[in-house]
Each structure stands twice: as structure tokens, then as C-alpha cells.
Amino acid sequence: MPYNKVYKVELLLEIMEKSEILNISNDWNFWKKDQDIGIIRGDLVEKIRELSETKEIVVIKGIRRCGKSTSLLQFCKKLIESGLEKNNILIINLEDPRFKNLNLNLLNKIYELYLTELQPNQNHIVILDEVQNIDGWERFARFLHENKKIKVFVTGSSSKLLSSEYSSVLAGRHLDLEIKPLSFKEYLLFQNIEIKDNLDIINKRHSLKSEFKNYLINGGFPKIAITKSETQRKELLETYFRDIIIKDVVKRFKIREINKIEDLTKYYLTNVSALQSFNNIKDVLKLNLDTIERFSYYLTSVFLLNFVKKFSYSEKEQLLNPKKVYCADNGLRNSVAFVFSDDYGKLAENLVFNNLNMENKEIYYWKNKKQEEIDFIIKKKQKIVQLIQVCWNIEKKETEEREFRALISACKEFKIKEGLILTEEIEREDKIDGINIIIKPIWKWLLEGKL
């Protein structure tokens, strides 16, 4: 083919590629149309704003579909309403299937085309959404941050978004924010119920208790919270699960044994809040120990699972003892686990863990030689500051005595004067052996202190 024809073909392909990039980018940006920003999560938007003021790269992480991208859209909308020109924001969605050959070259092309076509001012914003899909993204983010002096936001569905190799490139240049599914208070806002003070809790207690049961079962993913059809909720949650396993685990870690990772995950989800030993799982699922350890690590790195250690002043004892497993969302768990009729206790404990984990507390469980057990002990620096039992139904005398006995033993060991038992309904206070035992409904505890 003559040179001129080759040149024309290449030029035509380049024009077509630029046109496609612009079309895709236009779909995700505010340039020519409004974007659906959903229901405002005000506290999250404010946290993002505060981080943006530091002028560092802001890295937003969390489980898939928890609201990372939407929260950034809400932040951008607020900036636009405050006077920022729409063309001064570039959002690149790296999960759009129309983008081919995800690499640094594509990122550079998108950015150069943005500069040429939109002509933003020098103080613009670039958002790299689900950036773990691009190898070497951190070099591009650093280039924008240092050379262009612009605000860079990054989102991803992996806690390893800033592993050791990334951190070395972005050292001292990034601040992280982990976003989780909706808290109960946020979930209520999605149901058009606003709680401003304790009087609201009293006046709206019947609707709060009803919504709590829905939250307990369906979980806190934003789209699930506004989906009324049970069938649609289940389909959505099953899709979330498949995407987490396939996109975030299998593809990222190049796993071939998909059935094994699915079996292990479903086993964990079925047994949330239970003690787990890798050696026991090895016998149950017929998997080798190395596979279980690797897969378990992968599942925590994508924010699906958390493992809680037994409290001990000995690090060796912490490592040798079984761990408790918790899932990031009850609805996700219920959509794929083998669910039983008595699961309210498991779900309640899982929910309490996730609420404690939202506040980034240092969490352990406790068990003594008498096999008395405390679900959660909260450590701050070198001191145990709170003991929490979760018991869905405490009405039976033997159940109450068991929970009280463990709580009193732990309070005495850690020299704490107060313990908390969280239940479905009961609310009262008892004093035994100088220990104040507070019993409170979980739904009420979830709201108190969040006002």
C-alpha cells in the first residue's frame, strides 16, 4: 500500500479513536449533561472535601458497589453548584467496557484529548475511577499531581491499591479514605426517615424497628436500599457477588480454580461470626492449607471479609488461635450463603462488627479457660476500653446467665466497671458484683452517638 494511503488509514483510525474516547468520556462527565448523583451521603461528601483541601492525591477505597464513585459525583456536583466550571472536572471510568487495551498509553490519550477539547483552566480535577485496572496508574497520578499541580482523586475496590510498590511511588503524596456500605442512619435517610435527636428515636421507634429488620436482612448497599422488589434485590446482590469474585479476585490474582474460591467464600459467608481455623476448613472443603490461606487473604483484600483475632497480650497466641469471620454486608451474605432459620443471631453479630469497623476501632474477641466468651473487646492504645456481647434473644434464663457470667468475668479481668449486651428488644440496666450491665436493642445502639 502506498505511503499516502497508509498515512490516511492511520489518520482515520486516530480520528475514530479520539471520537470514541470523547463519546465515552462524555457519558461519565458533567460537561454536557447532568449525572445521577443518587441520595446525598453528606458526611462522606464532607470528608472528601476536607481531604481535597490538603492538595494531596485522595485515594478512595472500599468494596465494590458501596458508593465510592457516587460519593465523588456528589462532591463534584457540590463544586459545580459553588461555581466550578463543568469542564474543569475529568472523570475517567476505567470499568467502561468500551475502553480497549487498558494501559498508561490510554490514560495519556484520554487526558491529552481532554486538555485539547475541553480546555480546562490550570486548577482542574482528575478522577481515576476503579484504577486498579491499569498497571502503573500511580506514575500517571503522580505526574498529574506534581507536574500539573492539579487535584487527583483515585478510587478502587482493593485494599492493595497502595501496596508496597505503589506506596514507594506515592510516598507522602496521598491520603486514604475507606467507604463502606450504608450505616443504619444512612439507610434510614434512603427510606426518607431522618433522625435528628433522641426524641426522634422515641417518636419514630415503630418505623425504626421495622426498617431495622429490613436493614439486618438486606444489608446496606445503596442501590439495594432503594430497591423494593425482593427478586430484584437478590439478583443485584448475586451480581455484586459474582463481580467481586470474578473481577476483583479471580482476574486480579490470576486464579484458575474458580470453583474453589467460590466454595471457600460461600463457606465463610454461611458461617459468619463463627470461629474459623484454616486446618479445620482444610478437612471440610478438601483444600490444601496454602490455598486456604492465599484465598482468605484475597477475600480480605477486596473488603469482602474481615477476620478478628482472639485478644491476648501474646502475639503468638493471637496467631495460633482460631479467628472469627465477618462479611462486609448482611444482604450480600444472605444472597449466596446457605441460610438457616436461626440466622438472626449471626446477622446481628455481623452487623455490630461492621458498625464498630466503620469507626476503625481495634477489635478482638475474648475467651478464657472456662470457655466464657465475649464477642467484641475494643482496645485503644494499650488499654481495653469496651466489652460488647451480642445476643439476639436473651429471654431464656440460662442464656441470660451465660451472657452475664462471661461479661462479668471479662470486666473483672480488664478492670472495667461496665459491659454492654446488645439484643433484639430488651432494654434495661443491672448491677452485679459492682459491674454495671447495660442491655440495649441493637437498632437503638446503632443510632445513639451518631446524632
% of the chain beyond a pLDDT of 90: 81
Q: Is 68 a residue whose pLDDT tops 50?
A: yes
pLDDT computed for residue 169 by the predictor: 79
Task: Specify the range with the lowest mean pLDDT, choosing from 5-9, 156-160, 263-267, 429-433.
Answer: 5-9
- Confidence band for 158, pLDDT divided at 50, 70 and 90: confident
* 156 or 166, which is more confident: 156
Q: How far apart are the first and last CA of the chain?
A: 72
User: What pLDDT was estimated at residue 342?
Assistant: 67
> Which of 109-113, 146-150, 353-357 shows the lowest mean pLDDT across its residues?
146-150
pLDDT at 2 over 60: no
Average pLDDT, integer, range 166-193: 90
Residue 93's pLDDT band (cuts 50, 70, 90): very high
Q: How far is CA 116 from CA 22, 80, 110, 229, 405, in A?
A: 11, 21, 10, 46, 70
Band the pLDDT of 393: cuts 50, 70, 90.
very high
Which amino acid is present at 450?
Answer: K
Q: Using one digit for the tens of pLDDT, what is the confidence trace for 344-359?
A: 999 999 999 999 999 8
Q: pLDDT class for 147, splitting at 50, 70, 90?
A: confident
Mean pLDDT of 95-99: 92
The helix/strand/coil state of 176 is strand
C-alpha angle with apex 187: 186 to 193, nearest 5 degrees? Answer: 85
The predicted pLDDT at position 7 comes to 39
| pLDDT number for residue 15 | 58
Side-by-side strand order, sheet with 174-178: 89-93, 125-129, 151-156, 57-61, 174-178
All three cell numbers of 255, joined, read 486464579
- All structural domains of the chain, each given as residue ranges with its CATH number in brackets, are 3-178 (3.40.50.300), 184-447 (no CATH)
| pLDDT value of residue 69 | 96
3-state secondary structure of 152: strand
Give the per-residue pLDDT at 181.
97
The rounded distance, in Å, linking the Cα atoms of 60 and 179 is 7
Q: Does pLDDT of 13 surpass 80?
A: no
* Centroid of chain to Cα 201: 27
What is the predicted pLDDT for the residue at 163?
Answer: 60
**Amino acid at position 255, single letter:** I
Q: Looking at residue 12, what is its pLDDT? A: 39
Whether pLDDT at 427 is above 70: yes
Residue 34 C-beta-side C-alpha neighbours within 13 Å: 7
**What is the rounded average pLDDT for all residues in the chain?**
92
pLDDT number for residue 8:
39
Residue 316 CB neighbours (<10 A): 8
Average pLDDT rounded to a whole number, residues 141-154: 91
